[in-house]
Amino acid sequence: MTEHPAPMFAAHFLPPEGMEHQPIIPVHIRAVAPRFSRMWWRGIWNKLINRNQEPEAYLDTEQGQVFAERAMAERAIYLRSDEYRATSRQRMEAARLARAVEVPDYKGWVYDPDGRGPAEGHFADGEELAEYCDGEGLPMPAWAYCCEEVPFDFDLFDEIDSYCGDNHAESTAENLKGTAELEAAWKAFLAANDHVHSYMVDYLRIVVLDRERYLAELKAAREVLAEASP
Opening angle at CA 92, ends 90 and 97, nearest 5:
95
Q: Which of 14-18, 107-111, 140-144, 180-184 has the weakest average pLDDT?
A: 14-18
Report pLDDT for 61: 75
User: Tell me: the pLDDT tens digits for 154-191?
Assistant: 899 899 999 998 999 878 888 889 989 999 999 999 99
Q: Could you give the CA distance from residue 65 to residue 27 in angstroms, rounded to a whole number?
A: 11
User: Tell me: the pLDDT tens digits for 3-52?
Assistant: 544 444 444 444 555 555 667 766 655 544 445 445 544 454 455 444 55
**If DSSP codes are grouped into helix, strand and coil, which group holds residue 24?**
strand
| Sequence spans of domains, the chain | 8-78, 98-228
Task: Extract the runs of DSSP E, i.e. beta strands, from 78-156.
Answer: 101-102, 110-111, 122-123, 143-151
Q: Of 71 and 48, which is predicted with more confidence?
A: 71
Q: Could you give the CA distance from residue 61 to residue 112 in angstroms, rounded to a whole number?
A: 40
**Is the distance from CB of 26 to CB of 56 less than 8 angstroms?**
yes
Element (H, E) at 26: strand 24-32
Q: Could you give the CA distance from residue 157 to residue 154 in angstroms, rounded to a whole number?
A: 9
pTM score:
0.65
Q: Which of 3-17, 50-64, 184-198, 205-219 has the weakest average pLDDT?
A: 3-17
Q: Of 50 and 91, which is predicted with more confidence?
A: 91
Return phi, psi of residue 117, to 5°.
105, 165
Q: Could you give the CA distance from residue 55 to residue 127 in angstroms, rounded to a whole number?
A: 66
Report pLDDT for 77: 85
User: Tell me: the pLDDT tens digits for 115-126?
Assistant: 999 999 999 999
- Average pLDDT over the chain, rounded to an integer: 81
Mean pLDDT on 126-147: 95
Q: What DSSP string describes 18-79? A: T-TT-SEEEEEEEEE----SSHHHHHHHHHHHTTT-S-EEEEETTTTEEESSHHHHHHHHHT
